[in-house]
């Protein structure tokens, strides 16, 4: 009974500190105002990431980590079709096909924190067509859900629906002033905010990005959780930069043998302001934003011309002329 009372007091105290933070969530980072606000219906609808004037010229662009990662991996360029990026990541008038892996991730988010970005969560996964029973991956993911709830107590993590799925954004200014005719906004959707106690770390509030993976020891990009040094940390650096908060990846796997989890704190200038690696990561983020914006401007000038690639085009949901030719072959 005494243990339950202590736990209740801890939760009430933590909730109060979170309330104080959220109520004061408009603050200044690097002399720029940052706003954090809970996702509402306006963000559940996938709004375009670009604004155009009467001539059709882009005047504002919202840069997300998902957009950056379609063009770069760890600062290196990735081949991408301008027409694809324009519709799926800028206009957002065409939905990206939901893969089996994505569906499992949505299910995991729904069952752990009760929601997913853009309200795309799911409360079930495909079952056996004959018996209606859960398939093996479904059973293992449910085990990962149970593991998640057990681990939260260990790290003093508290899931409060008021602090799940937050949207953060701010205007980004290029110090080289290359985009004077364009308003650039960096943005991100945060899975949840919570206190955390991990080894020597004890933060009253931090950002968490929840991940489900088939194998936490995987070392192949893009989700090489088993080799953290090889990871692309764009999301972590962007989100920490946006909010002024520490960042953690909270990773759970559902492999057959020895399934477990990983809590990965990421070094950023928010937690390590004098650290050379953290400073460089922030400079790399700025360069990635510049590259992304410059690429979009170049594509806009050239009319978003399609670039065909047999393997990529086969999976593309946009049925353009080049897609049709590849299908015919």
Using CB atoms within 10 Å of the CB of residue 309, give its burial: 0 to 12 exposed, 13 to 18 middle, 19+ buried: middle
Structure tokens that stand for 66 in this block: 């998902």
What's the confidence (pLDDT) of residue 155?
Answer: 96
Integer CA distances (angstroms), 205 to 87, 156, 240, 250, in order: 36, 11, 12, 15
CA angle 25, 28, 34 (to 5 degrees): 55
Coil/strand/helix, residue 309: coil
Residue the block writes with tokens 């709004």:
47
Spatial neighbors of 309 by CB under 8 A, at least 6 apart, are 79, 81
What's the confidence (pLDDT) of residue 10?
Answer: 41
Coil/strand/helix, residue 1: coil
Coil/strand/helix, residue 316: coil
278 vs 18: which has the higher pLDDT:
278
Ranges of H-type helices in the chain: 2-23, 41-44, 65-71, 82-85, 100-113, 136-155, 234-243, 276-301, 310-314, 321-328
Task: List pLDDT tens digits, range 238-265.
Answer: 999 999 999 999 999 999 999 999 999 9
What's the confidence (pLDDT) of residue 210?
Answer: 97
Task: List pLDDT tens digits, range 153-207.
Answer: 999 999 988 888 888 899 999 999 899 889 999 999 999 999 999 999 999 999 9
Q: Which of 120, 208, 197 is nearest to 160 (CA)?
A: 208
Task: List pLDDT tens digits, range 81-133.
Answer: 999 999 999 999 998 888 899 999 999 999 999 876 655 667 889 999 999 99
| 3-state helix, strand and coil shares in percent for the chain, rounded to the nearest 5 | 40, 20, 35
What's the confidence (pLDDT) of residue 172?
Answer: 94
Coil/strand/helix, residue 196: strand
What confidence category does residue 15 fall into, taking pLDDT thresholds of 50, 70 and 90? very low
CA angle 208, 212, 216 (to 5 degrees): 100
2 vs 225: which has the higher pLDDT:
225
Spatial neighbors of 265 by CB under 8 A, at least 6 apart, are 198, 201, 246, 247, 248, 271
Q: Where are the domains of the chain?
A: 2-328
DSSP character at residue 89: I
Cα 244 to Cα 242: distance, rounded to the nearest angstrom: 6
Phi, psi of 16 (to 5 degrees): -65, -45
- Bridge partner residues of 247 (DSSP): 207, 266
Cα 72 to Cα 288: distance, rounded to the nearest angstrom: 7
What's the confidence (pLDDT) of residue 209?
Answer: 96
Contact status, residue 191 vs residue 105, Cβ threshold 8 Å: no
Q: Say yes or no to pLDDT of 308 above 80.
A: no
Q: What is the pTM of this model?
A: 0.84
Q: Could you give the dihedral angle defined by the CA atoms of residues 79, 317, 120 and 72, in that order, rounded to the nearest 10 degrees?
A: 0
User: Mean pLDDT throughout 289-299?
Assistant: 96
Task: List pLDDT tens digits, range 31-75.
Answer: 455 555 554 433 445 789 999 999 989 999 999 999 999 999 999
Coil/strand/helix, residue 111: helix
């Amino acid at each position: 009974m005494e243990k339950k009372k202590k736990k209740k007091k801890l939760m009430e105290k933590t909730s109060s500190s979170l309330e104080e933070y959220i109520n004061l969530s408009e603050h200044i980072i690097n002399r720029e105002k940052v706003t954090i606000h809970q996702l509402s219906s306006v963000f559940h609808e996938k709004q375009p990431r670009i604004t155009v004037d009467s001539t059709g010229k882009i005047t504002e662009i919202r840069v997300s980590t998902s957009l950056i990662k379609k063009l770069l991996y760890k600062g290196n360029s990735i081949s991408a079709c301008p027409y694809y990026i324009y519709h799926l990541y800028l206009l957002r008038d065409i939905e990206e096909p939901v893969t089996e892996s994505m569906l499992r991730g949505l299910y995991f988010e729904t069952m752990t924190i009760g929601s997913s970005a853009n309200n795309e969560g799911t409360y079930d996964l495909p079952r056996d067509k004959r018996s209606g029973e859960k398939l093996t991956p479904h059973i293992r993911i449910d085990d990962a859900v149970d593991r998640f709830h057990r681990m939260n107590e260990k790290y003093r993590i508290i899931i409060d629906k008021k602090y799940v799925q937050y949207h953060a954004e701010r205007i980004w200014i290029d110090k080289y002033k290359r985009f004077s005719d364009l308003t650039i906004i960096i943005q991100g959707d945060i899975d949840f905010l919570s206190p955390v106690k991990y080894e020597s770390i004890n933060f009253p509030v931090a950002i968490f990005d929840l991940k489900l993976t088939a194998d936490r020891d995987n070392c192949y990009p893009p989700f090489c959780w088993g080799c953290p040094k090889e990871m692309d940390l764009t999301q972590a650096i962007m989100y920490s930069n946006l909010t002024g908060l520490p960042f953690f990846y909270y990773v759970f796997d559902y492999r057959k043998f020895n399934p477990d989890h990983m809590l990965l704190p990421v070094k950023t200038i928010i937690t390590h302001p004098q650290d050379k690696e953290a400073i460089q990561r922030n400079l790399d983020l700025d360069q990635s934003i510049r590259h992304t914006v410059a690429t979009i401007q170049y594509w806009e000038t050239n009319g978003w011309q399609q670039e065909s690639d047999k393997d990529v085009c086969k999976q593309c949901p946009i049925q353009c002329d080049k897609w049709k030719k590849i299908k015919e072959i």
